[in-house]
Every structure is written in structure tokens, then in C-alpha cells.
Amino acid sequence: MSFFSAQEKAPWTMTSSFPKVDFEFLLPSVIKPSRYINHEINSFRKEPSRDTVNFCLAYPDVYEVGFSHLGLKILYYILNQHSDFMADRVYAPWPDCADLLRQHGLPLFGLESRMALSDFDVIGFTLQSELTYTNILYMLDLSGIPLYSRQRKNDAPLILAGGPNTSNPLPLSPFIDAFLIGDGEEAILEIGEVIKKNRKSSRQAKLKALQQIEGIFVPLLHDGATIRCRKIDGLQASKVYKRQLLPWTHPVHYRYVAEIMRGCSRGCRFCHAGFFYRPVREREPDEILQDMLDEIRKYGWQEAALSSLSSSDYSCIKPLLLELYRQMEPTRTTLSLPSLRVDSLDEEIIRLINALRQTGLTLAPEAGSQRLRDIINKNLRQEEIINSVKTAFSNGWTLIKLYFMIGLPQEEESDIDAMINLIHDIIAITQKKVNINITISPFVPKVFTPLQWAGMDTADNLRGKATRIKKTLQCYRFLKINYHDIASSQLECILGRGDTRVAELIRIAYEKGDIFTGWQEFFDFTIWENAARQCSLEFSDFLAARMPQAELPWDFIDIGVRKSFLQEEWKKAARGETTPDCREGECTGCGVCTMNISPHFAGEIHKKYSRRPEIITPHPQVHYFYRLFYHKTNALRFVGHLDMLRTLQTILRASELPLSYTQGFNIRPRLQFGPPLAVGLSGEREFLDFTLDERLEHGSVLIHLQRVFPAILPVVDLQFLGTDIKT
């Protein structure tokens, strides 16, 4: 049986009781129609019914961005494992698609079921960025659902929101029926059970029942009580997302993702995630290793990632990397560690990462001077930055990414000079032989951090600092500098530290045409300025510094970290004093470990993981060439040639055939495709040539291919083309 077949989904297949939205005739007229076609490999495709609680998990950004978000995928997997629940997904349609939906009177719909969003029981939005807030109204509007919670009738779906931005839910509180604050793996099932039990009850009764769940904030019913952030106790296997989706169109991150750790104890005073996701909880290394290897072998992933806020802080990172290298090398899978701390790296880890074909080093000094790094508690010394660059350069790394902030509290001109000097020192080490990408972002004070009381620097000051950095470094052609837009960063602060008054600002901005706020081609700050004037709102009220003793609008949320601890950290920042990582010393008294959620650290990994792997040396081989014929019809005619190429590579890797691979860092199966089809055109007997390192019987090769190719992409023929000898 094919692991991509529909049979494995049979227990959840039901006859739909709801009409489907007929939208296929629009696809030839939209940009990138593959965003809307469904049929992703490993999707559940459960049919909604009157007997299931039907969820639609919504990400308020374009498909390529939303598809890459791990949190939504985790909830999608957990809900669909439950026989009483069904979960679909929806992403913000690009404006061209939205215009066509409006023109033809069609509502926004679930990607898999094609059911109108207004027919679901629950729509759950992920709040990952303040700059997606108008897209929530955009998606509700396209669905025909009233924007305001108070205007919705009993038959309207419940609008929920979760994610890190729920730590200040006030700016969206008039639009959202209920917020889930904190971890969702357990709470989402409790939400489903409450709705199932109260299916025939009024909307008011459902909200009252939801309000009893820990972590749920219902704005219409809130009486001022403290809302306690939800935390899961450890990252057990039952809470891990498996059988990960493989898309037909290339997302921002096309890789298998293993969350190895949640939370961070470093205490960087600007970092919202570092405080919101406390305490640190680690997965066991044996479990990580087994899940990752199973998924790579079964589904053919070209790249895998170890995900956390700081992957190099994982207590078993070195032995885990050693064993991953040993077992992943035969699969030719690239391993990515997207979040590394410079002071956790040593030469052995850098060599391991290099062997796993990651050639870029990402460093986040955040500030150029040690004085300013101490103020923000970025416990990172100049010599650690320099030594990491030296080690990476000596091991052949070809790209260095640097992240800095400007406009930090107590920042002086000398701090900007120190940043420039640090970059010069890095250039001297790399001898102009490495590409250097620098990202400079305005500091944005975030809620529930020690710097939440800080003011945001003025636009003129920020612009002047960025210009000086650029002019000083523009002579280096191998150096690329990226700037975050100052106006959008200010808006991020306004929406992030706002109260209920900001809701009216969001609504007016949407009605004036603001959508996809985080996209440069759509962002127009004048829309927000005009909206602010219309609702008599002063941006300075939200950008200015605040008194540490003052009551904050979001104080009714309890994320587990005591406000008194944050106030003390604010005072220590003013004095330039640092606070050590509690995993390396004494408890800092932040308070989160009193929530009956204790830090969980992976135990000592088995000694077998400490043995060094043998380096595999290529040797001359005979290559055997085959030509595969397949039909590319129906919905797949809307998948572009490059996207089809990537997916076919993944499918072939899953076949367990002895594929021949290219050499070097960017290793790929040796494939050659026939002439590309234009998007929208069907093709019968499309073909690709692939190469094996062993000669197999024709029937055996065909069986391997038919096992992994999905039904929507049928294999119709196979030919053996011949051999040659390659080194």
C-alpha cells in the first residue's frame, strides 16, 4: 500500500453534510493557483459532518508563510487523530484571488474540505505577528462572518485565536470570541470536547463553558479576573507533530521540523518568546532521533531542522548531532539548526554542522558594544563572537549572517561605532572571502519583557543611525545590509502594546484598504496615520516610555513570570547588570516554576551516541539510467515546473531505490526532466530521467515507484535507458 494513499485515512472518511464551494474555474486567472488546490501529501482530508466538531485552523498570511508554521501543524495533527473532531486549514488568499471570490459571490473556504468558513464550528487564528491583524478582518470579511464578536448570531462559528501574540489580546478583543493563551496541545482537545457537549446550546452558553478552560480569555464575559497562561508539562510523543505535510508549492521552509526544546532561560531582556515560553522543556534525544529518521526514510525529506529558540542550548546537542550525522549520511539529508547561540558553539559542533551540509553561520550579537549587550542581558562576549567566526571560516563556511538592533535603551553613538568596528573585525578575519549578510532592526519593546517599559526611539534617530551604518560599510561589495522598515516597526509597537482603543484603529485601517501589512509591496503607513486621526488616537501614547510602577493594560494575563521579577530586571538593565542563565547557576526567581510546570531536561544520551562516525568516501560506480512516465493532470496542472521538480525529488527519495546523487554541499538526486509544461496545462506521459547506483529488475523498480507516487500523480510507464561509469 502506498504511504500516500487514501486508504490509511479511511477511518476518518465521512459523507459531507455541507455544500462545497465551487471555485476551480477561478484558478486559471489567479497568481500561483497551486496555493489553493489542496492534495498535499499526508493531508488528512477528513470530511466534515454534523456529528464531528469541525475546526478550520487559519493562518492570516499567504500560503507559503502559513504552511511553514509548526504550531498550526501540531494542532492540525492532534485534532485529526481524534474521531470526534475534524480539522481543515485556510490561509489568507492573495488579493487577486480575493477579488475574484468577491466578484463571483463566493465565500472563503477550507483548503481540504472546500466548505465555506461560515459553516465550520470553530475558526482558530494563529497570532504570530502584529502585522497580520488586518488580515484576520480580511479573512472574516471574505467569509461573510461579522467582524465584531457581539454581532455574531448563534449559527456563526466561534472565532478563536492562539499563539504568542495572545499575551496582549486587547487590540483584537472585540473581534475574537475567545483567546487561548499559552500552549495548545492539550487545550485544543478540551475546547473540542466543550463544543461537542454544548453543540445545541446558545453561543453565550458555549462561551461560558469555554471560559472554564485554563488559559481561555473570553472578552465579552471577562470580569477582570486573572487569566493564567496554559503550559504543557513536557514534550511527550503524543504532543509531537508526525506525518508532516508535503506541499506541491514551495513554502518558505520546505523541511521536516523536529521541535527539540521549548522555552529559553537565557533571559535576553528584549525577547518576548524567551519569557512567554518559559520554562525550558526538552524532548528526549532517542525520541527525536527515531522520529526524524522514520520521517526522512518514509517521506523522503531533503532537509530536516532541529527547532527551538536556541538549539545549541539543548543539553544533548553534541551527541545528538553525532548520531544524526552517522545515521542521516546515507539518506543525503541536510540538517539545519536555525537558532544557534554563539557562546554554545565550539569547533566540534561547527565541524559537525559543516559535515551535515549547513554552510552558513548566523550570529545575533544584537548590539555592537559590551556595555549595551550587558544592558539587554545578551550574555555574549566579543571574543566569543570573534572565535566563532574564526572557527567557521577555518572550516570552510561561506556565509555569515549578523543580526543587530538599533534604538536600544541607553544607546549612544559610541555603540553604533562599536557595531561598525565589530563588522570590520569580522571582515578582517574572513579576508573578504565570505559573503556577509547584515540585518538591522529597530528595537521594538515587547510586552512581558523587562524592556516593556522602554520607549521606542524616534523615526529620525533610527533613520540617522541606519544611514550612518550603511554609508560606512557600503564600500564592501560582498556585504549586504538589510533594514527593517522603521514605520512598520513603529506600527508593530503600537499594535503590540495597545489596548482596546487600538481595535478601532485596526478596523478603520482595514476598511481603508490595509491588508498584508508585513509585505513591503502592500504596506502604506499613511493609511494608519489617517485611521489614527479618524479615531482620535495618538501613536505617541503607545510608543512612549512607561513608568515601571504603572498598571499595564495586559497585567490581567499571567504568563507565569512575575511582574516584580521583570521590574527588577528593568532596574538591572538601567545599572548595566547582567542576570545569569538559571540552567547554569541558581534560580533567578522569575516565578514560572511555581506553576506546577517544572523544567524538563533530556537525560544523558546513550553512550553509543558518543562514538565518532566514519566519513563516507565516494568511489567509482556504474550508473543505471531510467525514464519514468507519469500523468500530470487535474489539480496538478496548476503546479509550476520548479515546484513539481522539488516534490518529485522528495517522492523519489522516499522510494528506497538506490538513487545516484550529485556531489558537494547541495546534494540532489540525479534527475533530468522533460520540457516544462505551462501552468494550467495538463500533460499525459510527462517524463523524467533518474539514475540508480544498482541495476534492478524493471518490475522491482516499478513497484517501488508505484508504492510512493500519490494517486493524483500516477506512474504510467518505465524504461531502462542504459549505463555509464562515473566517479
Residue 136 has pLDDT above 90, yes or no: yes
Give CA angle at 197 (192, 198), nearest 5°.
Answer: 100
**The predicted structure's pLDDT at residue 363:** 84
Residue 505 CA to residue 499 CA, distance in Å, equals: 11
CA distance 725 to 624: 9
pLDDT of residue 112: 96
Q: Which three cell numbers stand for residue 124?
A: 482558530
Question: What's the chain's average pLDDT?
Answer: 90
> Which pLDDT belongs to residue 322?
85
Is pLDDT larger for residue 152 or for residue 596?
152
> Amino acid identity of 210?
L
Beta strand extents in 492-607 (DSSP E only): 557-558
For residue range 502-547, what is the model confidence (pLDDT) as tens digits?
Answer: 999 999 999 999 999 999 999 999 999 999 999 999 999 999 999 9
Rounded Cα gap, residues 496 and 170, in angstroms: 9
Alpha-carbon dihedral 328, 332, 338, 342, rounded to 10 degrees: 70
A 10 A CB-CB count for 401 gives 16
**Contact yes or no for 112/57 (Cβ under 8 A):** no
135 band by pLDDT with thresholds 50, 70 and 90: very high
Q: pLDDT (tens digit, 9 = 90+) per residue, 409-464?
A: 999 999 999 999 999 999 999 888 888 999 999 999 999 999 999 999 999 999 99
Alpha helices in 376-476 (DSSP H): 382-394, 413-430, 459-473
Q: Give the model's pLDDT for residue 12.
A: 36
- 515, 518, 519, 524 alpha-carbon torsion, rounded to 10°: 60
Q: Residue 34 pLDDT > 70, yes or no?
A: yes
Rg of the chain on CA atoms, in Å: 26
Q: For residues 492 and 133, give the distance between their C-alpha atoms in angstroms, rounded to a whole number.
A: 10
| pLDDT of 204 | 96
Using alpha carbons, list the distances in angstroms from residue 617 to 455, 666, 727. Answer: 57, 17, 11
Q: How far apart are CA 427 and CA 469, in angstroms?
A: 15
DSSP-based three-state secondary structure for 546: coil
- What's 661's DSSP letter? B
pLDDT tens digits, 661-696: 887 667 889 999 999 999 999 999 999 999 999 999
Q: What's the pTM?
A: 0.92
At residue 11, the pLDDT reads 35
| Residue 598 confidence class, pLDDT cut points 50, 70, 90 | low
**Per-residue pLDDT at 649 exceeds 80:** yes
More confident residue, 362 or 203: 203
pLDDT in tens, 91-129: 999 999 999 999 999 999 999 999 999 999 999 999 999
CA dist list (Å): 676 to 307, 368, 400, 652: 35, 49, 35, 19
Residue from 646, 662, 645, 624 nearest 332 by CA: 662
Mean pLDDT score, 550-574: 96
Q: 143 near 46, Cβ under 8 Å? A: no
Q: How many CB atoms lie within 10 A of CB 549?
A: 7
Cα separations (Å) of 242 from 81, 215, 246, 310, 410? 11, 25, 12, 22, 46
Q: Distance between CA 585 and CA 587 in Å, rounded? A: 7
Question: Cα 595 from chain centroid?
Answer: 27
| pLDDT higher at 589 or 59 | 59
Give whichever of 229-243, 249-263, 561-575 has the largest mean pLDDT: 561-575
Calpha distance 635→35 (Å, rounded)? 11
